[in-house]
Amino acid sequence: MNLNLLDSYGFEVTSGLARCLDDRELYERLLELFMEDDTFPKAFEYFEKDETQELFELMHALKGACGNVAMNELYGALVPLVDLLRKKEGEKDDIFVLLSKVEKLYNRAKEGITQAGKE
């Protein structure tokens, strides 16, 4: 896997590797697990059903996973969404805007991992 390519997709690979004690195999395995996870599509389902607690838990878990591997761009988009959901004060339109931004960056991160795996 060409980890250097990930930096152009919003990752900070040096920091992510440091979090994994410079264990490249572990870092790559965490990226593989991210790719295998299929829970993100439930986010819009939770949103549509006004299941904000479930949405909060899903986004909080995703934020943690992103932090562990230094997907900083996606992590940065998750912070305000998780905070808004945690406070239970967000208007549905505000949540939708943030969730849509997260979706875009989530797909971009997955594309980056896919591209890095091809090289």
Structure confidence at residue 118 (pLDDT): 81
Number of residues that make up the chain: 119
Interior angle at CA 77, CA 76 and CA 83, nearest 5: 90
Q: Is the pLDDT of residue 119 over 80?
A: no
Give the DSSP per-residue string, 78-115.
Answer: HHHHHHHHHHT---HHHHHHHHHHHHHHHHHHHHHHHH
CATH number of 3-118: 1.20.120
Helix (H) or strand (E) holding 52: helix 52-68
Q: What is the dihedral of CA 41, 47, 50, 52, to 10 degrees?
A: 80
Predicted TM-score (pTM) of this structure: 0.90
Structure confidence at residue 91 (pLDDT): 85
pLDDT digits (tens, 9 = 90+) for 82-118: 999 998 777 889 999 999 999 999 999 999 999 998 8
Distances (CA, A) of 35 to 25, 29, 30, 81: 15, 10, 9, 22
Cα atoms found within 13 Å of the Cα of residue 39, Cβ hemisphere only? 13
Structure confidence at residue 38 (pLDDT): 85
pLDDT digits (tens, 9 = 90+) for 9-61: 999 999 999 999 999 999 999 999 999 988 888 999 999 999 999 999 999 99
